[in-house]
C-alpha cells in the first residue's frame, strides 16, 4: 500500500465516492478511507444513502405502495385479483438485494477508475497527514497533497426516547422490522418520519406521528404542505402537531412488551402506547474521531465542519463535503460538492448552485420542490406571480388514476424569471428535474410556456403552471388575465 497520495477522501458515501472517482478520472492518485460495515461486518461502500437510507427506504416505499395498489386500486382499473397479502421478510430480503447490487457497483467503479479502497477509520492530522486504522488493525500514517472530508451523518437522538435496539429504534432499525407492528409510533413528521411512517402504515400498522412543531412541513410551500397533510391523513397516518415527547418507558414482558410514550400538546400531558417506536428527528454531522487537535479544521456553532462556498476548510488543501457541512443533508447535494472539489483540485473552476438544489419526499403522492416558497418571498417583500395546475386537470394523471396533487410555479413579477416550483403528485421527483434545469438556465415562465411538451404526459402540468403564472393557462380558468 502506498503511503502518499494526491488525494485522500475520508468517507465512502455519495459525497465521498463521487469525489474519489472524479479525482481518479482527472489523473490523481486517489485513496478512499471508508469505515462502514454491512450486516455481516464486511466492508461496504455507499454510505448511509445506499446501505441504510435513500435506497433501502425507497425499495420498501415502492413495494408497500404496490401492495396498496393491488389491494385497493387495481379493481378500479378492471384488474381482478385474489386476496392480497404482504410478505414482509421477502420485502426486506429484496431490499437487501437491491442494496448489495448498488454497493457492489460502487466497489467495481473504484476498481475500474483506479481508486484505492481502504476499509477502516480515517483521522486528519496537521499538514494533511491522515491516520488510517484498518478494521481490527493499528493506525498507520498516510500523506496527502489534498484531503476531502466526507464522513456523512448519523440519526439524531433525543434524551426522552433512548434507543433500545428492538422496540425503540432509529431510521436504520425501522428498515429491519420482520412484520408490521400492530400499533406504531413515529417521533418526527419530517422527511424520514413521513416516509417510514408511510411504509408501515401501508403494510397494516396503525401509525401515529408525533411532531413537536406547530406547522406541518414548514420548509415546503404552504399550499403543498397543507394538501400533503390532508392526503396523508386520509391514507391513515394520525399526524399530531405540537406534540413534544417528554418520556418513554418499555412496559410488559416477553412478547407482550410495548412502549408507553408521554408527550405534551395544547391540552396537556398525553400518553400513547405503541408496539414499536421510531425516532426520526433528523440527522447530525458525524465527526467522532475525525479531527486531531492540530488538524486546523474548525467546526461551526452547530457542529458542522466550517467551509466556504467552495467547500474549503480553514486548513490548507483540506475540503469537506456532504452532510458534514452547511446546507441540506441530501445525497445529490453532496455528490455535486464532491465532484466540484475534485475538479477544482485539478484546476477547473466549477461551482455548485445552491439555489437549485431539489428537495423530494417519497411519500405517495410524492412531494418535491426547488427554489423559494411563496411564504419566503412574501417575507422578503418580493413581488411575484403564481401559476397553479391541478393533477385533476391532466389527462395522463386521470388515465393513470393519479389525480391527486398540484404543481405551483412562482415567477418574478417584473422579470418573469422562475423563482421556485413546487409539486405534490405522482412522479414529482421526476418532474422537478425540469424545473431545476429551467432555473439553472435562468428561464422565465414565458420560456417554459413556449416549449412544446408531449401529450398526454404528467410533465404537461409544468407547462400549464408556467402558462398560468402569466394568465395564459389553457386547461384551467385563469385567475388573472395578462397580455
| Per-residue CA distances from 69 to 59, 93, 395 (Å) | 16, 21, 20
| φ and ψ of 374, to 5 deg | -60, -40
Instruction: Locate 78 and state its grid cell.
Output: 378492471
Judge whether 341 and 11 are in contact, CB under 8 Å: no
Q: How many helices and strands in the chain, by DSSP H and E? A: 12, 21
Reported as half-sphere exposure (CB side, CA atoms, 13 A), residue 217 has a value of 28
DSSP 324: G
| Cα separation, 292 vs 205, whole angstroms | 46
Q: How far is CA 91 from the centre of its chain?
A: 21
Which residues partner with 117 through β-bridges?
Answer: 32
Report helix, strand or coil for 92.
helix
Q: Residue 367: enclosing H or E segment and its boundaries?
A: strand 366-371
Instruction: Locate 242 and state its grid cell.
Output: 405540537
Judge whether 167 and 32 are in contact, CB under 8 Å: no
| Cα separation, 33 vs 167, whole angstroms | 33
Maximal C-alpha separation, the chain: 73
| Per-residue CA distances from 451 to 466, 468, 478 (Å) | 10, 14, 19
Q: Where in the sequence numbering do the catalytic residues fall?
A: 455
CB-CB neighbours of 413 under 10 Å: 13
User: What is the side-by-side order of every strand in the sheet holding 238-240?
Assistant: 168-169, 276-279, 183-187, 206-210, 238-240
Amino acid at each position: 500500500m502506498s503511503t502518499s497520495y494526491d488525494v485522500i477522501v475520508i468517507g465512502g458515501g455519495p459525497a465521498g465516492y463521487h469525489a474519489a472517482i472524479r479525482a481518479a478520472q482527472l489523473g490523481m492518485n486517489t485513496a478512499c478511507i471508508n469505515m462502514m460495515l454491512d450486516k455481516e461486518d464486511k466492508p461496504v461502500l455507499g454510505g448511509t444513502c445506499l446501505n441504510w437510507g435513500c435506497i433501502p427506504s425507497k425499495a420498501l416505499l415502492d413495494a408497500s405502495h404496490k401492495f396498496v395498489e393491488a389491494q385497493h386500486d387495481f379493481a378500479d382499473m378492471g384488474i381482478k385479483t385474489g386476496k392480497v397479502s404482504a410478505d414482509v421478510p421477502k420485502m426486506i430480503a429484496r431490499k437487501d438485494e437491491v442494496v448489495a447490487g448498488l454497493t457492489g457497483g460502487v466497489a467495481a467503479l473504484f476498481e475500474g477508475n483506479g481508486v484505492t479502497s481502504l476499509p477502516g477509520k480515517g483521522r486528519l492530522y496537521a499538514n494533511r497527514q491522515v491516520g488510517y486504522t484498518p478494521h481490527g488493525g493499528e493506525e498507520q500514517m498516510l500523506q496527502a497533497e489534498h484531503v476531502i472530508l466526507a464522513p456523512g451523518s448519523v440519526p439524531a437522538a433525543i434524551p426522552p426516547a433512548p434507543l433500545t435496539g428492538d422496540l425503540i429504534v432509529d431510521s436504520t432499525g425501522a428498515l429491519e422490522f420482520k412484520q408490521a407492528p400492530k400499533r406504531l409510533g413515529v417521533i418526527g413528521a419530517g422527511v424520514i418520519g413521513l416516509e417510514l411512517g408511510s411504509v408501515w402504515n401501508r403494510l397494516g400498522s396503525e401509525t401515529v406521528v408525533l411532531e413537536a412543531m406547530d406547522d406541518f412541513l414548514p420548509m415546503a410551500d404552504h399550499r403543498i404542505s397543507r394538501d400533503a397533510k390532508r392526503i396523508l391523513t386520509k391514507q391513515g397516518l394520525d399526524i399530531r402537531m405540537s406534540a413534544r415527547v417528554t418520556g418513554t418507558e418499555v412496559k410488559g414482558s416477553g412478547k407482550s412488551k410495548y412502549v408507553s410514550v408521554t408527550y405534551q400538546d395544547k391540552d396537556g400531558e398525553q400518553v400513547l402506547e405503541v408496539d414499536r417506536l421510531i425516532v426520526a428527528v433528523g440527522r447530525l454531522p458525524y465527526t467522532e474521531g475525525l479531527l486531531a487537535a492540530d488538524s486546523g479544521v474548525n467546526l461551526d456553532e452547530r457542529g458542522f465542519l466550517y467551509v466556504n462556498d467552495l467547500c474549503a476548510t480553514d486548513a490548507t488543501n483540506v475540503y469537506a463535503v456532504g452532510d458534514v457541512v452547511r446546507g441540506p443533508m441530501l445525497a445529490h447535494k453532496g455528490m455535486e460538492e464532491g465532484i466540484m472539489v475534485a475538479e477544482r483540485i485539478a484546476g477547473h473552476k466549477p461551482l455548485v448552485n445552491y439555489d437549485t438544489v431539489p428537495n423530494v419526499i417519497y411519500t405517495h403522492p410524492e412531494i418535491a420542490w426547488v427554489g423559494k416558497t411563496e411564504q419566503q418571498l412574501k417575507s422578503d417583500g418580493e413581488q411575484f406571480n403564481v401559476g397553479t395546475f391541478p393533477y385533476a386537470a391532466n389527462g395522463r394523471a386521470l388515465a393513470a388514476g393519479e389525480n391527486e396533487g398540484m404543481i405551483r410555479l412562482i415567477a418574478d413579477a417584473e422579470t418573469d424569471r422562475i423563482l421556485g416550483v413546487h409539486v405534490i403528485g405522482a412522479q414529482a421527483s421526476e418532474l422537478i428535474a425540469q424545473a431545476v434545469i429551467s432555473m439553472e438556465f435562468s428561464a422565465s415562465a414565458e420560456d417554459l410556456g413556449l416549449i412544446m411538451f408531449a401529450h398526454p404526459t404528467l410533465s404537461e402540468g409544468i407547462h400549464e403552471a408556467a402558462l398560468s403564472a402569466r394568465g395564459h393557462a389553457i386547461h384551467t380558468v385563469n385567475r388573472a388575465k395578462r397580455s
